[in-house]
Amino acid sequence: MGTHADAPRLQKSPLGVVTVSSSDNGQVSSDKLTVSSTDGGTVSSSDGGTMTADNVTVSSSDGATVTAQTESDLLGKTIHFALGTAWWATGPIRFGGRLAARTAEAVVADARKRSPWLHRQTQGGGTDARGAIEQLIQSLLRPVITRVVDAALAELDLTELILENVDLDAVAAQLDVEAVIRRVDLDGVVATVDLNAAVERVDLDRIVNRIDIDGVVAGVDIGAVIDRVDVDAIVRRVDLDGAVALVNLDAVVKRLDLNEIADGLDLDPLVAKVNLDAVVDRLDIAAVVARVDPDPVVARVNFDAAMAQIDLIGIAQKIVDGIDLPGIIRDSTGSLASEAVHGVRMQGQQADDAVGQLVGRVFRRRAAAEGLHP
Amino acid sequence: MVQANQQPIGRGSEHRPAGIVTRAAAMGVDMAVVIVLGSLVYVTVAGARLVWSPANFSWPDVSFFVTLVVEFTIAVLYLTASWAMTGRSYGASLLGLRVLSNRGSIPGWPLAFIRAVFCVFFPVGLAWVILSPERRSVQDVVLRTVVVYDWRGADSPTSSKD
């Protein structure tokens, strides 16, 4: 409902009464108001200031329109409003009455339990009489109460009433949201939710298709993200053994271009850091040599060219000089001659001794006296 | 050399006097050496004649007496030099024998010469070794020498420890 600075302001009360007032509390000119009946009835003013009619529509010069209702409806609404107000006002009294009746019943029941006499006196007709009274009251009051409540609820726009009369901001300010949240059993609420069904109803493909991944990625500061990542902690938590066990290393190696990798490596610094002596000490040279098949290697060797480059004469001369071949021949020959000479000498001595013994026996000479035997 | 020859060698158990068999064998080897040396002399003389007068060359006609004199001379010189220098001739060296003086040392040149002459002109004296209790020949008895077993090298007899 728009308003101008000099346009009359229209306001309709909950009872349907339209009030016309000036925005600056001045008089309202009649040429700025249009009053018409929506059902063709006559519009008249009873006291020159207030107009009454059935189903009247009041239009302001700025286009605002308010429709009033008939007086009979106003009367009914007023009665309903009064009854509702009375019912609402008597709520505490009725609550007190019920509370008193319940209290009296509790007292009487407790007294009956404690007193056999009272139990006998009140046994039987007392309960029936009280029940009859209650049924009578309920049969009389229930239709009335029901009608009053229905009429009040039908006539009252509770939502509008609350919006106009309740300061929701103040109410919200007084509301202890944290206390409310603490009182909510989120676990219970979540337990009642069928997450599987909810997830099944979600069209993830459609959601993903609507996401501008390129835009999202373009907006991410990858450098900052990487700086915040504790790669060491991640690596420590990773089961590298298990991960490696899952990798098909043979397939990976087959896909690698080792020649290209080798061309890109600067092996000189790496080799300079290697302790080759330690490596060689750890090698089982005999085992390595035993696994080598020399035949293919030898078949590829050009022995003629290799022999042509070798000074065999010089090498042979060095070998002969080194091993002293003449000395070896001389020693071996001398050894043979020495053995022959030794044999001749032994046999000669034995022959001498034999002759000496023979002569000794002939001349009955003692060998000891001759000193021939050691 | 003279001083070395005068050093005693000793007569341990390993230097027992040699018997008739080994000494006779040594003598036979020495005789062969002398014959070879005489042959070399003959060939040398013939070669000299060939060089001197090749046109008139003919093998020398040497009488038995001359041959005998030459052989004896060669034998004396050969044995003298051998005994005086090492105490053993080639035959003695082959059989492991050594000639020692009465002091147990290698004989000197005079003794070696006299013994060589004695042995060349009276080789039968060697037979006394068979009868001698100390296995001495006539030459050994006269000249007071002894022939012992000595299997060491040619240079070893100069040692005085034995």
* Under 8 Å between Cβ of A55 and A69: yes
The whole-angstrom distance between B110's CA and the closest CA on chain A is 29
Collapsing DSSP to helix, strand or coil, A47 comes out as coil
Angle between helices A125-155 and A71-89 (to 10 degrees): 140
pLDDT score at A55:
55
> A75 or B45, which is more confident?
B45
Distance of CA A302 to the CA centre of its chain: 70
pLDDT for res A156: 76
- What is residue A130's predicted lDDT score, i.e. its pLDDT? 63
Asked whether this complex has an ipTM greater than 0.90, the answer is no
**What Rg, from alpha-carbon coordinates, does chain A have?**
65
Model confidence band, residue B90 (pLDDT cutoffs 50, 70, 90): very high
Q: Looking at chain B, which residue has its C-alpha nearest residue A339?
A: B94
Return the higher-pLDDT residue of A12 and B115.
B115
What is the rounded CA–CA span in Å between residue B146 and residue B157? 14
What pLDDT was estimated at residue B15?
80
CB contact under 8 A, B135 and A371: no
Q: What is the pLDDT of residue A374?
A: 38
Judged by CB atoms closer than 8 Å, whether chains meet at B16 and A370 is answered as no
- Chain B contact probe: residue of A359, A365, A366 with most B CBs at under 10 A: A359
Q: pLDDT: is A180 or B117 the higher one? A: B117
Contacting B with CB below 8 Å, chain A residues are 341-342, 344-345, 348-349, 351-353, 355-356, 359, 363, 365, 369-372, 374
Extract the tokens encoding B125: 């004296």
- The number of C-beta contacts closer than 8 angstroms across A and B is 50
- Are A351 and B19 an interchain contact pair (Cβ–Cβ within 8 Å)? yes
Determine the Cα–Cα distance for residues B51 and B66; give it in Å rounded to an integer: 23
Looking at the predicted structure, is the pLDDT value of residue B138 above 50?
Answer: yes
Check residue B108 and give its pLDDT: 94
Dist CA B116 CA B74 (whole Å): 11
Within 10 angstroms of residue A355's Cβ, the number of other Cβ atoms is: 17
pLDDT bracket for residue B4 (50, 70, 90): very low
Instruction: Compute CA B11 distance to the chain's CA centroid, rounded to the nearest angstrom.
Output: 21
pLDDT of residue B66: 93
Share of chain B above pLDDT 90, in %: 72
Residue type present at position B23: R
Contacts of A348 in chain B (CB under 8 A): 19, 21-22, 25, 95-96
Cβ–Cβ below 8 Å for B20 and A355? yes
CA terminus-to-terminus distance, chain B: 18
Residues 6+ apart with CB under 8 A from A77: A15, A16, A155
pTM here? 0.39
Please indicate whether, in this complex, the C-beta atoms of A356 and B19 are within 8 angstroms of each other: yes
pLDDT number for residue B123: 93
Spatial CA neighbour of A30 closest among A39, A38, A40, A20: A20
* Length reported for chain A: 374
Predicted pLDDT at A354? 92
Most A CBs within 10 A among B14, B16, B146, B150, hence the mutation to make, goes to B16
Which residues of chain A fall short of a pLDDT of 70?
Answer: 1-10, 12-20, 22-58, 60-74, 121-133, 366-374
Q: Structure tokens of A107?
A: 């007292």
**What is the pLDDT, as a whole number, of residue A17?**
60
In this prediction, residue B125 carries a pLDDT of 94
Contact B21 A352 (CB under 8 A): yes
Q: Is the pLDDT of residue B82 over 90?
A: yes
